[in-house]
A and B are shown apart, each in its own frame.
Chain A
């Protein structure tokens, strides 16, 4: 039979086995992420780094004598690691919850996401500094070496052990949550933490322990993974995005669903490797898209709608800082003078990223949708523009426009899929969809893999202006930025923009007023994607390159960071944020491997201390000054009127 379909049974079962093992890790990891999300409402992006800590923990224990030669410590093997490391990783998790994550429980999901992204960058960055990107080997323990010949395939004992132990751990977790008193507390606290506290249960401590447990599970997965995969600082980085997709597919509120989905997706991925190897990297994300269309709540999910009415905007209506006409002139004048004082290339970088951040702010700041995949639009446009200019020989302006068209099309498609869910799910979905574009760019031939598209010609604008001249190029970019900025200002001030803001403040109310909010969200998302594409395409021409970095999720995180640093939902915030971030990146460029650590720390510090952003904080200052003046005026007025009436009496 196998000969008929041209696949050898060894290959088929081999890949199925690998798929099942991956599935076990998916299940263990998505279980932790799902529990943490359910209880704490935190999208634990640092889960991948915590998994990596587990693997490194096992490796450390094995090499204890090498690290501390003088102490005569024994080398602790696999079984010790299995017993000790998850506990230690959980302890680290508890510490992280106490120090950082606790502070963002009551905040918008964006802060939790950015905080955990920052923590992941710090941890992975530190390990990268210490061990480089290369992997360490961890040998399979002697007691689990060897294998069984099943006739049609050879089954290594270690892999069998991972499958059995992983599934047992998953079902033990399921049992505790669904069938015990402790689990009842957890489920109740997920629904209504205040009431559970009012019954006398220390919910904050329970949250910390839940987080620690989820993290410990990641640590355990890390130890189990150490002998299979290489122990490297990056091992959890891309993994976490897949896990998010698994959680979206499984759906909210079902522990069993998380386990079943994880195992199933591992198997499907294995099968895809047999029949269509190129698609194996993206199959999970594609399945996610299909599931969203057919069953938005996820395969085992119970709910989709979680409207929340929190207003993330730091803007103050009527403030001078929101007067776009004024600032358009200011930017035009300042932008014209700028290249005579700073390096024009630096200026162009700021302008491109400022436009990108403004575009992102349109969807995140004005509609309140936590998009986390804008790299897809920025990068796709960069690739298409670069390809059009370099290979197809299109004139510069058409090359950029073709990039914008591509970004807009992808934006409309992704938006159509993603608006089915809200809140953190929206972030996970856009992130996972963006990952499809990323993997596509790695594999496609016209994108040239790791090299990207290089030496993109800048060409002539409308066949007249030579853009190889830096100043000409600069003023072109300035014009593009000003057009984009003006367009966004126009959009948010229009009646359409008012509806967007009403969705941000209270979607349910906007729906009850008769607005089809989904359509508004989709249009806004598409516009935002198109403008992000404008920034990406322009960037490809300016820097004459489109690369994988443009599509990487860090670019999406940068957009979020710039918007947050500047001030979410403010007109000027993204521009200020872009100036700060680009300046920082330029300054830190000399730090080498440390740059990721510094960047991650910036994320964390911003979330902890600069939540309203620079513009938002300044806006608060202006507001309180105005308030003071009004009070003073109010004090003076009664005194004056008292004087008047006294005069009147005498007169």
Chain B
């Protein structure tokens, strides 16, 4: 399988404090892979580093063979990586529709708008509302929906289930499963292991800014104690 993303020896800093201490992992095309770990382990920082939003870093980030570690966010986005941040990033001065259509199309092959609205029927009803007037679950849907039509092939989803009701979490799970069917590659940051376990091909455990363990989907059943130990507070 050809790789979509390879991270090697990735170190990153916020000012003087070091957040990433040699991250290493890879994702194959069409895979769903999760980064699991406690708060402050460096998961979000890894996503920000991939997007080019973390400026102070060293190491390699290869996307489809090209090293993008030194690139600006706008370049990274145009290569076909899309980012859905943890705080969702819905713009309050834009309507739902404007939010949805904001990210420019960077390549062919994105989901047509009709398919997106099919996945997220709520959004169609509320297209004229102010973006931040949506409920938390709807905002999360919108945040995912708007990066699907751009033609990006690798989606970085930062804790899409955080703080949402179980019924919404299930819905998001369904959406990610359908995205995988459609050939999207997904890097999922999660603390909710039960949610991630059903979706991912592979899990990486992140601690102190590096990957400390790797668990394939079919090993999960036998490794529950180990995973529990990693994630318990």
Contacts and interface: CB of A to CB of B under 8 A. Distances in A.
A181 B89 CA distance: 18
A197 B53 contact: yes
Contacts of B101: 181, 184
Interface string B61-98: 00000000000111011100011010001011110001
Contacts of A185: 102
Contacts of B72: 197
A191 B102 contact: no
A194 B93 contact: no
B104 A199 contact: yes
A198 B101 CA distance: 15
Given A184-B94, A194-B53, A202 B89 contact: no
Interface in A184-201: 184-185, 187-188, 190-192, 194-201
Given A184-B98, A184-B102, A185-B102, A198 B77 contact: yes
A176 to B, nearest CB: 14
A198 B104 contact: no
B73 A188 contact: no
B35 interface: no
A195 B101 CA distance: 14
Interface string A552-563: 000000000000
B91 A192 contact: yes
Interface residues of B, number: 25
Contacts of B98: 184
Nearest to A253: B93
Contacts of B93: 187-188, 190-191, 253
Interface residues of A, number: 19
Interface string B134-150: 00000000000001001
Nearest to A201: B74
A576 to B, nearest CB: 28
B193 to A, nearest CB: 27
B109 interface: no
Nearest to A199: B103
B94 A200 contact: no
B119 interface: no
A287 interface: no
B164 to A, nearest CB: 20
Contacts of A190: 93
Interface in B90-145: 91-94, 98, 101-104, 106
A309 B114 CA distance: 44
A200 B104 contact: yes
B102 A188 contact: yes
A203 interface: yes
A194 B91 contact: no
Given A181-B101, A185-B102, A197 B77 contact: yes
Contacts of B82: 199
B51 interface: yes
A102 to B, nearest CB: 14
B104 A201 contact: yes
Interface string B16-55: 0000000000000000000000000000000000011100
A194 B55 CA distance: 12
A194 B73 CA distance: 8
B121 to A, nearest CB: 23
Nearest to A206: B74
Interface in A228-271: 253
Contacts of A253: 93
A399 B53 CA distance: 59
Contacts of B83: 195, 198-199
Interface string A199-212: 11111000000000
Given A198-B53, A198-B83, A191 B91 contact: yes
Given A198-B53, A198-B83, A199-B102, A187 B74 contact: no
Given A198-B53, A200-B103, A188 B150 contact: no
A191 B101 CA distance: 16
Interface in A265-295: none
Contacts of A192: 89, 91
A154 B88 CA distance: 58
Interface of A: 181, 184-185, 187-188, 190-192, 194-203, 253
12 contacts: A184-B101, A187-B94, A195-B85, A198-B52, A198-B73, A198-B76, A199-B102, A199-B104, A200-B78, A201-B77, A201-B104, A253-B93
Given A184-B101, A185-B102, A196-B102, 9 more contacts: A184-B94, A187-B91, A194-B53, A195-B83, A197-B73, A198-B53, A199-B83, A199-B103, A200-B73
Interface of B: 51-53, 72-74, 76-78, 82-83, 85, 89, 91-94, 98, 101-104, 106, 147, 150
